Structure 1
């Protein structure tokens, strides 16, 4: 199914425009993903389109954890989809919709392989995918959506006029009014087994008769969503039973394990850009740390000031962060030399200077290493009892975390009242959501509201992303004056 060769892509210029939509491989924007990929793809595409989709699903899960309203979730997801997994309607004449749908199809099935391995992952995947389907359903072209619904068997029967008249009084109780006495309502009604719409039954939004539910057209989406969920749940169960056949291919299992770990962390996106366009000096770091750093980097900075030393993984995590923040190699050497003030010049040059240069790509294999993302900090190099690296939201004991949060951010507006909400998300394992909420609270004075995240509702996924936005906000407050002087 997958190899390193590239199969042809759909070429709309070679297609017969006179053919019906059903003659294409993916006739509709909406998809129940019934058919597994039969085409060959490269390993690069295998990973790329799955990661694009994972970024969107991770933000959807973050939205649930942050108790966003449906409209807020829909708005954030729509923006994420536009950036990562665009999917246009068939009427978009200037877009290769078949390639878009192929990539969407591929990404979904790769993530199935990654998230079928445990009950918790399957549950979270179904919930996020169902929300994504609903966002697309509600924004779909009306005519195309109707054609999609007609193409599938949802096991519903449209109620005829006689049956509507028979239950006219009961239907009126559902808010379905008759246009005039003796004439049935023009609103469509669908009859399904009540087990297909348990949510509507629970909310008393349907008429129940002889084991069937009479569903108004305005509630039709519930039937569709439940069918989507059931279809995906069954598919994940089937995939889980056959996944062992792939365990021998280390190329694929390594990619899939990375993705499933990323979903557990609740983080998928990366941040590769510098925090600011400004170069910073060694003597600026202490002030920047107090005003702009996330808790993980604040903790590393305070440990460094206190102990005049950091262990290897702490130096690596903090050093790469500072490099991306804008600390040049010369300033980095000056910063670490001053910080390790209890060492002689000879010991510092022999044991530490090489590693600093190495992280800038000036020694060894000369790779320009990026700063660590939240996902990497959460899931790799677990800190020991005397270590300072890692994510405080995950690795600190609850009492220590609360004490640290108040000590670090009380001067920026965080109060003990805010801790209940932050600790709830920590307890649920949504560490990046807790960090995002702290960002919102500590930047409230600058106009950041709950739900804004680091911009347009996006959650924190990288320490440098946090610092970049904080510096940007301060610059804006100063009227574009330099935030670091």
Structure 2
């Protein structure tokens, strides 16, 4: 199934793209994922499809942690799907429908491999996938949704006229003027609990408007069973050292609640930020993790190796040039190493992180996921590693000047206790940027959660810049 990265995946599209769904290899946007993908893929495609899908599932989990309404969750998920995993309807003749649905199909099965490993992962995966399926079901074209339903046997029985007449009184108390289907009552426990069905002889009489509950329940049951089967087959993957690191990384991302690394669409340009500007930027725009590192550096005139590496890469991506970085660190170590000692012990490492020494690699800044799974509280995520008392003190100390109040702390701490650490950071961003008209639930834009320290800082600086430019335009003057 899997080929090396140097090989190209086989082109599976054999039919010209037409609107008629019967000619498509993936006829429906809705999918129960009954059959595994039986085609060749590169390792790169294997990982990319999974990461894009994971972004969506992680945002679904984030929506639950942030107590978004169902309509808000649908809206945010729809936006994420358009960005990372679009699925056009069958009438979109100019779109490569098979390519879209192939990616959806493959990504699901890669994540199924990753998240079948433990009961907790299976439970969370089923819940997120079921939510995604439900959103797609509700948003699907009614005709295409019916075609999907007709393509499967859901083992429901249409209640005939005689039976409708026999139980007319009981059925009318559930719903008027509707068709009814009957299924074993164990298949619709949610409807039984809410008394939305009529029960008789072990059967649940389900009105047509509640038919979706049967579909959702079947999806969950089938997916959980498939995950348990996959778990039993996992030992066979032990010999494939290409895939296991990818699956491990996906698991870490899902457990930490952060899908993947944020990549700056427009990284800070060298020269825009100087060493003398860092203190002000740290005060106004940093997330708590980088504030913590910056404050420790200013207090002790020193950071340990991995602390320096984490903070240095953050500053690099922010736009601090190599010359300004050397200036910044030299000034920061005042009272620390002497000039010659600085050049000997630290200058090389700074140049190395910029790709100017050693392997000359372009090292990225660490993401929230990497900080969440790090082994040290000193450079890891404060929302995970700080004690509750220390975290509350740190938050008020860092953000009181930006509008964070003591009354906001319980809400933030509740998400921390539920281990949705990036949600807590996102909520702090919303509170401290309310002066830019950021409302609860909007995150760093379009409802997205914080997934990277540079994402947090870049968005904060972008908002401030936009306000200054507007004022400049209105008043015809420079705003510092």
TM interval, shorter chain, is: over 0.9
Look up the SS of the partner of 2:450 in the other structure: coil
Partner of 2:81: 81
Look up the SS of the partner of 1:208 in the other structure: strand
CA change 1:27–1:15 in 2 (3 A) is same
1:76 deviates by 0.7
Partner of 1:462: 452
1:345 matched to 2:327? The reply is no
Look up the SS of the partner of 2:364 in the other structure: coil
Partner of 1:257: 248
1:402 deviates by 1.1
- Structure 1 range deviating more: 475-484 or 68-77: 475-484
Look up the SS of the partner of 1:200 in the other structure: helix
1:406 matched to 2:396? The reply is yes
- Aligned 8 A contact 1:280 1:484 in 2: no
**In the aligned structure 1, how far is the partner of 2:123 from the partner of 2:441?**
25
- Equivalent position to 1:234, from 225, 233, 237: 225
1:208 deviates by 1.3
1:15 deviates by 4.2
1:376 matched to 2:370? The reply is yes
Tell me the alpha carbon deviations over residues 107-142 of structure 1, each in whole angstroms, 9 at most, x when there is no partner. 110101000000000000001101111111111121
- Equivalent position to 1:472, from 459, 462, 467: 462
1:219 matched to 2:210? The reply is yes
1:148 deviates by 0.6
- Equivalent position to 1:336, from 329, 335, 341: 329
1:133 matched to 2:133? The reply is yes
- Equivalent position to 1:8, from 5, 10, 13: 10
1:188 matched to 2:182? The reply is no
1:428 matched to 2:422? The reply is no
**In the aligned structure 2, how far is the partner of 1:466 from the partner of 1:15?**
44
* Alignment of structure 1 residues 87-106 onto 2, 5 Å: 87-106=87-106
Look up the SS of the partner of 1:58 in the other structure: helix
Provide structure 1 residue ranges, at least 5 long, that are not aligned to the other structure.
178-184
1:168 deviates by 2.5
- Aligned 8 A contact 2:306 2:379 in 1: yes
**In the aligned structure 2, how far is the partner of 1:440 from the partner of 1:347?**
43
- Equivalent position to 2:315, from 305, 309, 322: 322
**In the aligned structure 1, how far is the partner of 2:467 from the partner of 2:320?**
24
Tell me the alpha carbon deviations over residues 375-405 of structure 1, each in whole angstroms, 9 at most, x when there is no partner. 111113x116xxx311100111111111111
CA change 1:450–1:300 in 2 (3 A) is same
- Aligned 8 A contact 2:46 2:107 in 1: yes
Look up the SS of the partner of 2:451 in the other structure: coil
- Aligned 8 A contact 1:475 1:481 in 2: no
- Structure 1 range deviating more: 159-168 or 83-92: 159-168
1:304 matched to 2:306? The reply is no
1:16 deviates by 8.9
CA change 1:484–1:463 in 2 (3 A) is farther
Q: TM-score normalised to the size of structure 1?
A: 0.93
Tell me the alpha carbon deviations over residues 138-166 of structure 1, each in whole angstroms, 9 at most, x when there is no partner. 11121111011011111111122232232
**In the aligned structure 2, how far is the partner of 1:484 from the partner of 1:355?**
37
Q: What is the CA RMSD across the aligned residues, in angstroms?
A: 1.8
1:289 deviates by 0.7
Partner of 1:180: none
**In the aligned structure 2, how far is the partner of 1:231 from the partner of 1:123?**
13
Tell me the alpha carbon deviations over residues 341-379 of structure 1, each in whole angstroms, 9 at most, x when there is no partner. 012111111111111111111111111211111111111
Q: Alignment length, in residue pairs?
A: 470
**In the aligned structure 2, how far is the partner of 1:141 from the partner of 1:242?**
37
**In the aligned structure 2, how far is the partner of 1:268 from the partner of 1:348?**
38
1:30 deviates by 0.7
Tell me the alpha carbon deviations over residues 200-229 of structure 1, each in whole angstroms, 9 at most, x when there is no partner. 111111111121111112211111000000
1:53 deviates by 0.7
Partner of 1:181: none
Q: TM-score normalised to the size of structure 2?
A: 0.94
Provide structure 2 residue ranges, at least 5 long, that are not aligned to the other structure.
473-477
- Aligned 8 A contact 2:113 2:247 in 1: yes
1:11 deviates by 3.2
1:468 deviates by 1.0
Partner of 2:173: 173
